[in-house]
Every structure is written in structure tokens, then in C-alpha cells.
Chain A
């Protein structure tokens, strides 16, 4: 994933320079990884029983949120924002759960494929409406969050449905070493496959181009409208993955979107070092940020602190990070 955020390189003078360049460009994300490692150690110290099952639980709990963060990141990089991610997750989750219930395992494969297509479709509708109506992204996706939430309620009135066994099996348990949760492997591989494909295609170039300057992209011949639509479609794909992992990890689905899912995705994007102005950053930072935010909540429970304080801490950290980022930018621009 680190390689993904490091293209556009100048002609390589030496391998060392390239490595240093990669490190420098991903300094924030690497810092987050180190911080996450320290947090794991800290968790182990305050709660000596935190072990395999803790890591398992963390990875499974993180899975939907990480996909949601990935969805938001792709869209933010392209200069947009999607406040309907939580609702899209609920919709794709209930669609998958209701159609899989009581069906054969093979049918589940079809359902998963169709759900992913549905996610792409939902995202494309969001993006299409933004392009078509020229209404700001925030407003359109805010309104569409109602629509998708309503559609989810139409599909399923009360929590229910079911998941194919192989799907549940895909996220629960570990792979090889008991310290490597399947959920984490799944997350890493799916994000890497999708993002590396997008990133190294013309699409990725378009996303960064329209994100950093819409006008400049337009004048250099980027089909800005199509690019915007595609960025939302890729976001929708990740949102569908998030919805599917909700279904997979719980074995059923709830039609009521959890309001924190959307907020969490925005928070992770900001913490992950992706500029809300667009055109900058990668998927790695926000996903690590999701791990940190989730572990923070666990730690505060271990410290016998009120879990509500975790919410407070998340808010404070969010602001502190953004302020820090702004200060750094200020100093750079003054120089």
C-alpha cells in the first residue's frame, strides 16, 4: 500500500533516494503505524490478558469501518465528500443479508457479487447527481443519505437476515499464525487489489487531478464529470464491502444506519493525513487511523474509564490533529 501513494516519482537517481522519498511522502502514515504499535504495547501493559482474542476482535470490529474510511478517502482525494456512506453500508448490508438468508452457499457468491455491483451503482447515482445538478457534494450526499436509509428500511423492517457460512468464515478466525486475523488479511488484500488497480490506471490519475484542481484538470483534458462519477462509484464499491463485512461479522443486518459510521469515516480521513481539500494522500493512513481509533476505545474500557470518554477523546484527537496539520502547512507556506 505504501507503494500506492508513491508514484509520480522523478527519474530515480538511486534506490536509496527512492526509498527516502517514499518514507518522506508517507511520513504521517508511518508515524501512525508506529503510534499504533506503541498503543498495542500499552494495551498489553494495562491489560495483560489482551492477546489473540483481543487482536481478533479488533480486526473484526475494524473491518467495516476501515472499508468505510477507504470509501471516504477515495472520494475526498477526488475533491468530494460523501455523507451517505453510513446509509449505503446499511442498504448493501440488508440487501445481502435478506437475499442470502436460507439460500445455498453457492447462491451467496452471486449475492455478494451483485451487492458489490449495487454499491458501485449507488455511488454512481450519488456522483451522477452531483455532476448533473451541480449542487455541492455535501448537500447531495446528505439528501441521498435519507434516500438510501429509506431504501434499507424498505428492504428489511427489523434487524434480521442471514449470511452464507463461507462469508462468515472469511472474516472470523485466523490465517496460519493465530496472531494474524483473517479479517486483517482480507482487508489488506482487498484494499490493495482495488486501490492499486485504480491508482495505477488512468482513473487514479484523474482522481488526484480533479481533487487538486478541478479547473486545471478540466483544461488539461481530464473528463472531469466522468472522473467525479467514477470516484463516487469506487467509493460505493468500498461502502458495499463495508456493508458486506457488517453482514459477515454479525451474521445478520440492521436497516438503521449507525450515524457514527459516516462520522468515523470522515474522522479517519482527516486523522489519516488526507487533506479535505482533495488531491492528496492515500488509503493507508486513514485505515491505520481506524485501527487507532478503535483500539483507543478498547483501551479506555480497560482503564476502567467511562466509554463515553472515548467519544470525547476521539473528538479532541480529531481537532488536535487537524490543528497540528494546519500549523505545519502554515509554516511551510511562510517559508
Chain B
């Protein structure tokens, strides 16, 4: 609204890297400032405690960031259409937990299939609610997280005698480091990364996501069946969340129905820092991954500086507001 009354921005002066120039850079190539910020944080980690930054450290950062990056992928995809998926925490926790309870009896493969089916059904219900019944995604996914969490709890009470713990395969995949540097979880993450990035750029489906988020009416008038796209989207998001849950339970060697809940807000934050607009139509997965890395490095830096949990939370929140504000500044008025 204020743009309407604001004076027109002064013309950029030739030859100097003016403010408008920086704005254009951030707007058109958001990756550059993001990567610079990440490098700055890595440098800060090294300066704060010399000798911290080595390949082993990088491996651990990467390993911590992978589940967050996958969950942030769910947020990126849904935010592109103007939605949000707050059920990722419940779905991820449920998936890890279901596999851990089934691995002792029917076996790992069976457990994974069941977890994926349950996650897919949850996603299907969410997608139908959002796509067909036009329930606000915030409400729909919030409600779905209640449903999934409640059902997982019921399951927990059923399985309390036979609970057998996180399978070794997940532990190897989630926590293992090849040569103590390269996390095994990249084995899962790289295909996901390629799928999302290529899917968004090269496929009609990916373009549809942007179209729906940018202007739903125009998308509908140009023949996009938005409800079909949304149903598929939320199923996809739930399946991704389930995979993140497998890795997370492996990395932490914990199977609990609340395991991934603390990652929901950071996953939204990673997507926002990465330049995806919650209003839809703008963003991408590359930025989100850098966003997830930034959040992980910040968390580790704050821990190594001896900040208490309280200070870390405060700084974390402030950083998110600052970065989001910077984005809005450079992208809105031009």
C-alpha cells in the first residue's frame, strides 16, 4: 500500500554499485548473497573457535542439515502454491516411529511400506481438503498434524510391549559418515534434491506450482486443474516428510511420536530465508537448502560460543525476522 504513495526511486547512477544495483542482484540472483552469508557464518565459526572448521565439522553440519532440508523442501513446494505444510513434523515423527515398532516383527521393508502408505494417506486427505474443499492450508495441515499425532499416540499405546527401537539400517543411513566426512544420508538426499530441482524447472508440473501460487485465477483460466495439482503436491510433501523422519530417527537413534516437532518452525524458516515467498509464486529449492545450512551453522555457532538455549532461541528468531525483512525490502518496491 505504501508503495502507492512513495516517491519513485531515484535512477541508479551509472558506474557505481548503487543500492538499486544491490537490490537487483539480490532479487535476480538471491543465491549469491545467501551463499555469502553462509560463508561469512562459516568464517565466524572458525574465528570464534579456531580449528573448528574442518572436513569432519562440515560432515556433521551436513548430516544435521539433511533432514531439515528435506522438511524445508516440503515447505518450499507448498509455499510456491501459496500454502504451507505444518503437518510435516507429525508425519515425519510418525513414520520413524512406525518403522521402529514394526522392524522387530514383520521386518524393515514392511515397516517402511506401511509408514509410507500412512504418510501418503495423510497427504491425500490434506490434499483433498486443500484442493477440493478449499480449506486454508494452514488449518488443514494443522488439523492433519493433530490427527496423525493422535493416531501415532494410539499406536504407541498398542505397541508399548513390542517396541524394538530404531533399525540399524536407519542408524547407518542417518548417522553414518563415509570416511568420517561424507554423511550417508546424502545417498537419500541427492536423489530428492535432483527430483525437486529438476521437477520445478523442467516439468510442466513444477511450472504449474509456480502458476497456481502466482495467480490462481489466471492458472485456472489457462486450464490448470489446480485441485489435481494440489492433491499430488500434498501427497508428495507427506512422503518427503516420511523420508526425513526415517533419517531423523536414524540420526538421533530415537523413535518418538514428537521427534520432528521441533523442526517444523525451522523448516518454514529455512524456506523463507532461502527466498521462497509464503505468498506463493516465487522461490526455489536451491535457496532453501542454503537456508537450511545457514540455520544449522548458526545453531552450531551459537552452541560453540557457549550461548544458552534461551539466547539461541532469541537470536534465531531475530535472524529470521531480519533476513525475511531484508528480502521483502529488496523484492517488494522496485
Contacts and interface: CB of A to CB of B under 8 A. Distances in A.
A326 B133 contact: yes
A152 B308 CA distance: 13
Contacts of B143: 267, 314-316, 318-319, 322
Interface string B129-168: 1000111101110111111011101101100000000000
A261 interface: no
A12 B278 CA distance: 44
A224 B138 CA distance: 25
Interface string A300-312: 0000001011111
Interface in B280-334: 308-318, 320-321, 324-325, 327-329, 332
B55 to A, nearest CB: 31
Contacts of A107: none
A306 B324 contact: no
Interface in A294-335: 306, 308-316, 318-319, 322-323, 326-327
A280 B324 CA distance: 29
B153 A144 contact: no
A66 to B, nearest CB: 19
Contacts of A39: none
Contacts, number: 154
A150 B312 contact: yes
Interface in B239-269: 261, 265, 268-269
B272 interface: yes
A19 interface: no
A146 B298 CA distance: 14
Interface string B179-218: 0000000000000000000000000000000000000000
B129 A323 contact: yes
Contact of B313 (A129, A153, A309, A311): A153
B136 A276 contact: yes
B84 A150 contact: no
Contacts of B7: none
Contacts of B1: 214-215, 218, 224
Contacts of B321: 129, 133, 135, 139-140, 143-144
Given A142-B268, A323-B129, A311 B324 contact: no
Nearest to B332: A134
Nearest to B87: A315
Contact of B142 (A133, A149, A151, A266): A266
A133 B313 contact: no
B320 A146 contact: yes
A303 to B, nearest CB: 14
B59 to A, nearest CB: 27
A146 B263 CA distance: 12
Nearest to A255: B310
Interface string A230-253: 000000000000000000000000
Interface in A59-114: 81
A142 B267 CA distance: 11
A267 B142 CA distance: 9
B279 interface: yes
A136 interface: yes
B139 A145 contact: no
A275 to B, nearest CB: 10
B313 A150 contact: yes
A135 B3 CA distance: 14
Contacts of A267: 142-143
A165 interface: no
A174 B281 CA distance: 55
Given A133-B321, A143-B324, A306-B154, A322 B135 contact: yes
Given A150-B313, A215-B1, A310 B142 contact: no
B77 to A, nearest CB: 17
A319 B265 CA distance: 22
A306 B156 CA distance: 11
A197 to B, nearest CB: 28
Contact of B310 (A81, A151, A214): A151
B278 A144 contact: no
Contacts of B144: 315, 319
B135 A154 contact: no
A313 B146 CA distance: 9
- Indicate the member of A146, A214, A266, A311 with the most B CB atoms within 10 Å: A146
A263 B317 contact: no
A146 B138 contact: no
A246 B157 CA distance: 29
Nearest to A313: B150
B142 A147 contact: no
Given A133-B321, A215-B1, A311 B150 contact: yes
Contacts of B151: 308, 312
Nearest to A217: B1
Contacts of B139: 266, 270, 276, 318-319, 322
Contacts of B278: 136, 138-139
A311 B146 contact: yes
A51 B262 CA distance: 39
Nearest to B310: A153
A150 B310 contact: yes
A323 B143 CA distance: 12
Contacts of A31: none
Given A308-B154, A315-B150, A136 B309 contact: no
B154 A309 contact: yes
A215 B144 CA distance: 33
Contacts of A135: 321, 324-325, 327-328
Q: Which 8 A-B pairs have the closest CB atoms?
A: A150-B313, A146-B317, A311-B150, A315-B146, A308-B153, A133-B325, A312-B150, A153-B310
23 contacts: A129-B325, A135-B328, A138-B138, A140-B321, A146-B314, A146-B316, A150-B310, A153-B308, A154-B308, A218-B1, A263-B142, A266-B138, A276-B138, A308-B150, A308-B154, A309-B150, A311-B147, A319-B129, A319-B139, A319-B144, A322-B129, A326-B133, A326-B135
Interface of A: 81, 129, 132-136, 138-140, 142-154, 214-215, 218, 224, 259, 263, 266-267, 270, 276, 306, 308-316, 318-319, 322-323, 326-327
